[in-house]
Amino acid sequence: MKNKTRNALAGCMLMMAAMGAQAANVLQIGCNTNTKLFNTGFDAVSGGKLTTGIDPTWEATDIQAAAAIPSTPPASLVFHDAHVGRLAGAWNLSPYGASEWISRETSTSATGVWYYRVRFALQPTVIATSFSLGMDFMADNSVAEIYVNGVRQSPAMPTVLPQGGGAYNYPGFKVGSRAAVTLTGPWNPAGVENSIVVRIHSGAPYEGFLAEVQPNAVCPPAQPQIVVTKTASVTSAVPTAPVSYTITVANGGTAAANGTVVSDPLPAGLSNASWTCSGANGATCGAPSGTGSLLDTIAALPVDSSVTYTVSATMGAGAAGPVVNRASATPPAGSNSLCAPAGTAPPCVADAAVQRVQAEVVVDKTASVSSAMPGEPVSYVINVANNGTAPADGTVISDPLPAGLSNASWTCSGSNGAVCGAASATGNLQDTATALPVGGALSYVVNATMGAGAAGAVVNSASATPPAGSVCAATGTPPPCVANASVQRTLLPVPPSAQAVPALGEWALACLALVLSLVAGWRMRRMQ
């Protein structure tokens, strides 16, 4: 039962301790922060010192058992309110005018160890590597150790710490025996909390602590910090297609950058440029709009302001490839400007690339025969392919019948994603491709009949007309892309004419008469 009572009592004491703990203010230290905020007992309202009440920034522990000085503050420490006021007449009056003694206790205390803590964070404008704190400490009885972000400082200042070699009777509450130190960190990055913990050795009947701090907030000189961003409206475009860019010039620094020159010359591959400008948060453009390459001098670019340009142009003709466009912002000379976030010297630049693409259409045509007589069938195969880098949807394919051919009909099939406008039809071939993607192909078969007439060559021409910005493959010439096929028209064969019996000469006739008479005489003798 005694153990249960003891445990319950211990639990209550822990709860009371936790309830008594106070989260003191975490100081936010910037270039223009009042340095006296680090002082104990400082009254931020009057700019002087408090005489009673609770310190708004420093906090303290309850008494700790005497022990060897640890390398880091014990993890079990719980910090509470620190009371403002001078308890003992032996303590020197504060010589600083804007700091006062503080104590965890309001009356007498036992001999032991006490810890005092102040917390703060550096603002981004402060250079953490150059920030330092000059601190004068007085304590009843002595300052034994100082910890910066948990790191013990006495090894770097052995002639100062610990005061009195760790004795509890050292008169550290006298001005002449104060602990004067300079703390240089290492401090945490901007926005991350730092802590300074001071270990005090106190002997009965009082304990107390006084700190006068002179921080050195090292800040960069006032300067503009220019950020240029640029985006394109599309990632690729065919020739003659519109392309637009958005260019933003912002000042994230600590000084204005009035007179910044913004330039965006058109590269080869773009034409017909025009631009507009608008400002935000007090920024003023040099001109609201213009034609040709962008060149503008910003009239006003204060801190945290920006201007936005919209550049419109047309993609030009030529071989496919990337068109890289660079925008630059150059603050006035002598403005101490930097390009953010890299921290480099101006000009500050940003690029945007648009891939110039185009359909490249190739047409070929073959005939089924080289010659045909009137009435015989003739067929053609017409292939239309896209060998380029952009789709050629909407390509118009045409194959009008020339004189000498009749009774036409055709069929169509697609491959590699190509889609015919129609699968088949009669009459002249006239079709608009539903889809002709990169690498796609259409195949048309045209059937006709050779007509009557004089012999000769029948030349048949097929054409493909892709969308604007396309070219004919191989030649690189503008559409239409054409291919021809020729079939020789031949006539029916002429039958051979009757041959005359050759006529005999006079001597041949006389011989023939003689032979006939002899034959006749011989036949008569046999009959007698």
Candidate from 176-190, 242-256, 506-520 with smallest mean pLDDT: 506-520
> 426: which 2 tokens?
């009669």
One domain, residues 82 and 150: yes
CA distance 481 to 467: 12
pTM: 0.55
The mean pLDDT of 95-113, rounded to a whole number, is 91
Question: 478: pLDDT confidence band, cut at 50, 70 and 90?
Answer: confident
Candidate from 317-326, 349-358, 432-441 with smallest mean pLDDT: 317-326
Domains contained in the chain, number:
3
In terms of Cβ atoms closer than 10 Å to its own Cβ (0-12, 13-18, 19+), residue 323 is buried
Candidate from 173-182, 269-278, 337-346, 502-511 with smallest mean pLDDT: 502-511
Of 324, 356, 388, the residue at which a domain comes to its end is 356
Q: Higher-confidence residue: 182 or 13?
A: 182
Q: What is the pLDDT of residues 140-164, one digit of tens each?
A: 999 999 999 999 999 999 999 998 7
CA distance 429 to 398: 5
Question: 3: pLDDT confidence band, cut at 50, 70 and 90?
Answer: very low
Q: What percent of the chain has pLDDT over 70?
A: 87
Candidate from 56-60, 215-219, 444-448 with smallest mean pLDDT: 215-219
One domain, residues 206 and 249: no
* pLDDT of 169 higher than 80: no
| 130 in a structural domain | yes
* pLDDT of 6 higher than 60: no
Of 315, 339, 356, the residue at which a domain comes to its end is 356
| 93 in a structural domain | yes
CA distance 375 to 366: 20
One domain, residues 457 and 308: no
Query: Range of 230's domain?
Result: 225-356
CA distance 410 to 405: 14
Question: 403: pLDDT confidence band, cut at 50, 70 and 90?
Answer: confident
Of 337, 356, 375, the residue at which a domain comes to its end is 356
The mean pLDDT of 459-480, rounded to a whole number, is 88
One domain, residues 401 and 478: yes
Question: Furthest-apart CA pair in the chain: how many Å?
Answer: 202
CB of 447 within 8 A of CB of 453? no
CATH number at residue 38: 2.60.120
Give the DSSP letter string of 320-334. SEEEEEEEEEEPPTT
| 276 in a structural domain | yes
Q: Which residues contact 508 (CB under 8 A, 6 or more apart)?
A: none
DSSP state of 166: G
In terms of Cβ atoms closer than 10 Å to its own Cβ (0-12, 13-18, 19+), residue 472 is buried
One domain, residues 129 and 19: yes
One domain, residues 325 and 379: no
* pLDDT of 81 higher than 60: yes
| 495 in a structural domain | no
One domain, residues 206 and 343: no
What pLDDT does 181 receive?
93
Other C-beta atoms closer than 10 Å to the C-beta of 358 total 27
What pLDDT does 1 receive?
35
Q: What is the pLDDT of residues 252-304, one digit of tens each?
A: 988 999 999 999 999 988 999 999 999 999 999 999 999 999 999 999 999 99
Strands 424-426 and 142-148: unpaired
* pLDDT of 134 higher than 80: yes
CA–CA–CA angle 507, 510, 513 (5° rounding):
150
| 454 in a structural domain | yes
What pLDDT does 490 receive?
86
Q: Which residues contact 45 (CB under 8 A, 6 or more apart)?
A: none
One domain, residues 352 and 365: no
| 522 in a structural domain | no
DSSP state of 130: G
CATH number at residue 437: 2.60.40.1530
Candidate from 9-23, 190-204, 355-369, 489-503 with smallest mean pLDDT: 9-23
One domain, residues 210 and 324: no
The mean pLDDT of 368-374, rounded to a whole number, is 91
Average pLDDT in the chain? 87
Q: What percent of the chain has pLDDT over 90?
A: 65
Question: 445: pLDDT confidence band, cut at 50, 70 and 90?
Answer: very high
One domain, residues 336 and 395: no
CB of 79 within 8 A of CB of 59? yes
Residue with tokens 């006529």: 503
CA distance 116 to 17: 16
One domain, residues 211 and 244: no
| 22 in a structural domain | yes
The mean pLDDT of 494-498, rounded to a whole number, is 50
CB of 86 within 8 A of CB of 109? no
One domain, residues 72 and 125: yes
| 466 in a structural domain | yes
